[in-house]
Structure 1
Amino acid sequence: MKIISWNVNSLNVRLPHLQQWLAAFAPDVVALQETKLEDSRFPDTALAEAGYRSVFAGQKTYNGVAILSREAAQDVQIGIPGFEDEQKRVIAATVGGLRIIDLYVVNGQDVGTDKYAYKLRWLDAVHAWVQDELSRHPDLIVLGDFNIAPEARDTHDPAVWNDSHILTSTAERDALQRLLSLGLHDAFRLFPQEENAFSWWDYRQAGFRRNLGLRIDLTLVSESLRARCVAAGIDREPRTWDRPSDHAPAWVELA
């Protein structure tokens, strides 16, 4: 079972890329972020023609999340329960007995700003929700654009991306570690990986060509799924295409 996370950075622009990639990679479940589409404009018919059913929560211009699956999704949850937020950043569903939580984590702008404080509150709410979900769904995967690079090796330059920088600050990494401490595992790190493996590259300064990236797109699996993981990685290929998303798909395969 192949499960993927991909921040497409506008599904309106990247739909042909998604269709091409679905045909080539043939995943079973895809969690999308930054669809940037109101629900009335979501291309569920086109994706159904590709063999995928869709559940989604979107808004105009910003944010937006979706889960695509070959098997119909059940028990869909939009947003973090009990956390008031107009931004469409969260969707969860059960597919084939697997509970999937798709997150588009707040960027946070800069350390010390109001948006940074909002990010930390948001992550606290996610922690409480995931803890509850794990108690009811042992087979759980939390994936998405986390806007946090877990370790120094997940950045192209740890001297720049240090403990006072957004996406790598101490408080953000601590929040991610608290989430992992619930019994989740970074699937990418369960397997040997090449050095300097990233999932996001800035469009500016030839970031992709120079591999000036960060690994901020994560697939976190529960303890019960850890033994079922047979592979995990990042597919850089779509980042080479014309007018690409600035993110590449992160994937995990379960037996």
Structure 2
Amino acid sequence: MRHATYNVNGIRARLPRLLEWLEREKPDIVCLQELKCADESLPIADIEAAGYGAVWHGQKGFNGVAILARGDAPKLRRVGLPGDPDDSHSRYIEAEVGDYVVASLYLPNGNPVGTEKFDYKLKWMERLGSHARVLLAEERPTVLAGDWNVVPEDRDVFSAKATRHDALLQPETRAAYRTIVHQGWTDALRALHPGEDKLYTFWDYTAGCWQRDAGFRIDHLLCSPEAADRLRGAGVDKWARDQEKASDHAPAWVELV
């Protein structure tokens, strides 16, 4: 079973690219981020025509997350993280697909550092960590997949020096990510590619970043112990980033048996 995560950077604008990728790679479960459309505007008919059932949590013009399942209908468990009933951002959705618990998340960017946006990022990560601990206690195969907006290590970015002021690389951001991983989650991409330095999933549109391979690894799939036991492969579909009018992210995926 192939489980993928893909920040589409606007599902209506990138719909041809999404459908192209679904047809070529045929992932079984897909976590999407940055839909940038309201619930009623999601092109669900096109997704269903491609053979996928879906649940989603949209927001007009911003954020938005979804879970797709090939030939199946995900069973929605929750939208939004617990811990802040006033949080209006559409950044988290959770469902069951077969015997898997699946979450699609779009973690706040947090820039610029030193502002309320960075504080919101850290508080959101704290809430995510609390909920992740609850999910682990279920002892089920679970995958937390999405755009984490976290660069875990210096080797996960083209230049740690050039990006040292970015919220994605701050010590507090990395510490919050490690705290979640150390609960017992497996960072699947890194676990299966321990020696690879340019394991990037995002290339900015500016400054020729794609052409220069000046990327970031910020899209992660964390596997619970029960899912990690089934882990057989992981990778990045870089070809999707090279298409016309592509998202600035490439899909990342894991193979589970």
One fold, TM greater than 0.5? yes
* Pair 1:3 & 2:3 matched: yes
* From 144, 147, 152, the counterpart of 1:145: 147
After the TM superposition, which of the residue ranges 68-77 and 144-153 deviates more from structure 2?
68-77
Q: In 2, Cα distance between the equivalents of 1:102 and 1:156?
A: 26
Q: Give CA-to-partner distance per residue, 1:187-233, whole Å, 9 cap, x none.
A: 00122364312111110011100011100000110112212111101
Q: Which residue in 2 is equivalent to 1:134? A: 136
Q: Which residue in 1 is equivalent to 2:100? A: 98
Q: Which residue in 2 is equivalent to 1:239? A: 241
Q: Give CA-to-partner distance per residue, 1:142-181, whole Å, 9 cap, x none.
A: 010000011111010122233x531000000000001101
Q: How many angstroms does 1:73 deviate by?
A: 1.2
Tell me if the contact between 2:95 and 2:102 (Cα under 8 Å) persists in the aligned partners: yes
* From 94, 109, 112, the counterpart of 1:110: 112
Note the aligned Cα RMSD (angstroms): 1.1
Aligned partner of residue 128 in structure 1, secondary structure: helix
Q: TM-score normalised to the size of structure 2?
A: 0.96
* Pair 1:205 & 2:207 matched: yes
* Pair 1:169 & 2:173 matched: no
Gaps of 5+ in 2: none
Which amino acid in structure 2 is aligned with residue 200 of structure 1?
F
Tell me if the contact between 1:36 and 1:60 (Cα under 8 Å) persists in the aligned partners: yes
Q: In 2, Cα distance between the equivalents of 1:136 and 1:245?
A: 35
For residues 1-255 of structure 1, what are the structure 2 equivalents within 5 Å? 1-70=1-70, 71-84=72-85, 85-162=87-164, 164-192=165-193, 194-255=196-257
Q: In 2, Cα distance between the equivalents of 1:228 and 1:63?
A: 31
Q: How many angstroms does 1:182 deviate by?
A: 1.1
Q: In 2, Cα distance between the equivalents of 1:201 and 1:187?
A: 20
Residue-pair matches, total: 254
Q: In 1, Cα distance between the equivalents of 2:219 and 2:186?
A: 14
Gaps of 5+ in 1: none
